[in-house]
Structure 1
């Protein structure tokens, strides 16, 4: 059963196109993480928040990535990191057009 990892944190920017330019190389490396299927990048400049929703093949890989990414964010000086892992109901999700890999 696939799992979703939700991460969000306070972030002063950059946002939009500047975020895209600044994090393109990092984004490319995420594709190589074990068990990684996809990521939706999230941002809200008005609330100064950023994060992402990730789909992984299993909870062990999601937990491993969460640990790695939390350390990376803390290395950038980011605090207030929030994360949750959810099991995905594949059958209902596909019924509502989810692309689960």
Structure 2
């Protein structure tokens, strides 16, 4: 069953186009993660928060990615990382135009 993960963490920028340029290599590497389907990058400059909403093929893939990503962020001094995991109801999601694969 597909799993959605939302990851949030504090960040001081960059934002917008600068973020896209700075993190292009990271974005490309995420495509290679086991079970990865897609990611929506999220940012809230007014709250100094960043993160993403991800879709993975399995909970195991999602949990492994979050463990690795949390360690990577800690290497940048970011330790206040939150993640929520939710199973996807594929029948209803497809009815509402979700792209699940």
Normalised by the shorter chain, which TM-score bucket? over 0.9
What is the distance in 2 between the residues matched to 1:30 and 1:66?
11
TM-score by length of 2: 0.98
Misfit runs of 4+, over 2 Å = none
**Matching residue of 1:76:** 76
What are the Cα deviations for residues 66-88 of structure 1, in whole angstroms up to 9, with x where unaligned?
00000000101112111011000
Provide the residue aligned with 1:16 in structure 2: 16
Give the secondary structure class of the aligned counterpart of 2:23: helix
Count of residue pairs brought into register by the alignment: 101
Q: Distance in 1 between matches of 2:86 and 2:75?
A: 26
Q: Distance in 1 between matches of 2:92 and 2:48?
A: 33
SS state at 1:80 partner: coil
Could you say what secondary structure the match of 2:18 adopts?
helix
Q: Which runs of 5+ in 1 are unaligned?
A: none
CA RMSD of aligned residues (A): 0.5
TM-score by length of 1: 0.98
CA deviations 1:8-48 (Å, max 9, x no partner) are 01110000011001000010000000000000000011111
CA distance in 2, matches of 1:8, 1:81: 6
Q: What's the counterpart of residue 38 of structure 2?
A: 38
What corresponds to 2:92 in structure 1? 92
